[in-house]
């Protein structure tokens, strides 16, 4: 399910846990590192948000 969402070339919103807090990041998929198990998103301001795959709660 997660990989299917990543194949679309559109803005996605990810709700994820970081340090026990629920956070949200919105942007385009920039990088998927299966070795490190991280997903990087680039937002409209070209800022990169790195998220651990295990912390993802929801993708929209």
Any idea where the domains of the chain sit in the sequence? 2-59
Find out whether 41 and 28 touch, Cβ atoms under 8 Å.
Answer: yes
- 3-59 pLDDT, tens per residue? 766 777 889 999 999 999 999 999 999 998 989 999 999 999 999 999 999 999 998
Domain 2-59 is of which CATH architecture?
Answer: Roll (2.30)
Distance set, CA 7 to CA 18, 28, 29, 30, 32 (Å): 24, 10, 9, 11, 11
The 3-state DSSP class for residue 44 equals coil
Check pLDDT > 70 for residue 2: no
């Amino acid at each position: 399910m997660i990989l299917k969402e990543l194949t679309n070339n559109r803005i996605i919103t990810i709700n994820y846990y970081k340090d026990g807090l629920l956070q949200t990041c919105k942007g385009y998929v920039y990088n998927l590192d299966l070795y490190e198990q991280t997903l990087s998103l680039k937002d409209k301001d070209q800022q990169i948000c790195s998220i651990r795959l295990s912390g993802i709660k929801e993708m929209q």
